[in-house]
Structure 1
């Protein structure tokens, strides 16, 4: 029982503000000798629950979020996006979050809010949500390969009581404009705007979002879209996307915001 408590104490040493820690910092947090903590951390690393970074700090692996695929690549996208998410949260004064595709679900990898507003949207890292409703789910679904999308559209249309044609038209529009907007689809009074992140293979496995109370989002929607698209392009560029420029020939006038926006070329 004591061993289990010590392992849990190691995990709980990591917070959204301290996502990587040195061995001595972990030992200080849980009030155990460094030699004892080293043995625990070494075992957890071998088991795949901790990752040792190049600077000899440790961070949690994404076994906790049940992500399918390669943990190392997921850590890469989180490390790349973190400073940009912080900047996006500062600019919009709302909650910025990073999401990953996992089968027919999306998983929140990271979420930051730099302004302590009395009323704000809360996103929890590790939260797993079906690809049914909400801006992030729609962005990820819109960029699925045709064969995978075809099977999923039937289930989503049935769950949301919409026609398949209506849903396919909406996803086509999202692909064209480069972002999705939702107002109260998952939670009444909460809105979100999401944009895709492209990788080196021009594929979309991740997206970023800004979430806020609907009363504020509707007022600031145009500014949020602009900031979000810039952030998505920056992350895509650093993630190795081949086509990352916001080009004039991909401009269009969105009816929802009334501002000219862009999407990634390609």
Structure 2
């Protein structure tokens, strides 16, 4: 039963904004199954009204998805979606976990959790705003921000930090390539952080998830924490309808 569900979902995931209609062979190739198996799955979905076969024998999603999309709760925001993954990450790392977004040249803490009893820990309050200059969260948000939106902020960072714009852009390009950012003592001496982007259904990374803590602890577990942060970001992205990096 689980395999059948996974195969059905894989057929739906085959479609994309630049691939709104597919041939049976293209669907079979996408889900990595024999054409005969794909034919049975596609036939069942067409009969159920979830796929439409066009005159050129290509398939597309039906309007039933529009009705289902309309049922999504308007109150299902990033906090509700991210909270389970945040709690899990906080338990795994025993450090403070936060979700950030960029607003008018600042990074804003949308939500934060801290489950560790240690008195030596980072404190982030929801609603707290920090200039989008330094730290892993700032760099992650900037790295995945559209260039038209980030250009003025990058110029301000270059002036404030006395660094060349080319150097900053190269660092942001590296963050995009690796899918995460790390900072040690950039914003506050002795504080380290690891951040990864959260993708939404529009393919945009307007949020990031961050683990914050004393450098002495974060540096000791940097490699393991990075994997956990990226996994948490992927889990949230998946629930948020966004793409998930492999």
The question of a shared fold, defined as TM-score above 0.5 by the shorter chain, is answered with yes
Find out whether 1:175 has 2:168 as its counterpart.
no
TM-score by length of structure 1 reads 0.63
Helix, strand or coil for the counterpart of 1:125?
coil
* Structure 2 residue ranges without an equivalent (≥5): 1-72
Higher Cα Rg, which structure: 2
SS of residue paired to 1:159: helix
Residue correspondence of structure 1 range 52-201 to structure 2 within 5 A: 76-201=77-202
CA distance in 1 between counterparts of 2:126 and 2:177 reads: 29
Cα offset for 1:158?
Answer: 0.7
Question: Structure 1 residue 75: deviation in Å?
Answer: 5.7
Q: Which residue of the partner structure matches residue 244 of structure 1? A: 244
Q: What is the Cα deviation at residue 207 of structure 1?
A: 0.5
Q: TM-score when scaled to structure 2?
A: 0.68
Distance in 2, matches of 1:74 and 1:145, equals 26
Structure 1's consecutive aligned runs of 4 or more residues displaced over 4 angstroms after TM superposition are: 72-75
- What is the Cα deviation at residue 151 of structure 1? 2.0
Aligned partners of 2:140, 2:74: CA distance in 1, in Å?
20
Q: Distance in 2 between matches of 1:209 and 1:162?
A: 25
Q: CA deviation at 1:103?
A: 2.2
Which stretches in structure 1 are left out of the alignment for 5+ residues? 1-71, 247-266
The 3-state SS of whatever aligns with 1:181 is: strand
Counting matched residue pairs gives 174
Q: CA deviation at 1:74?
A: 8.2
Secondary structure of 1:124 counterpart: coil
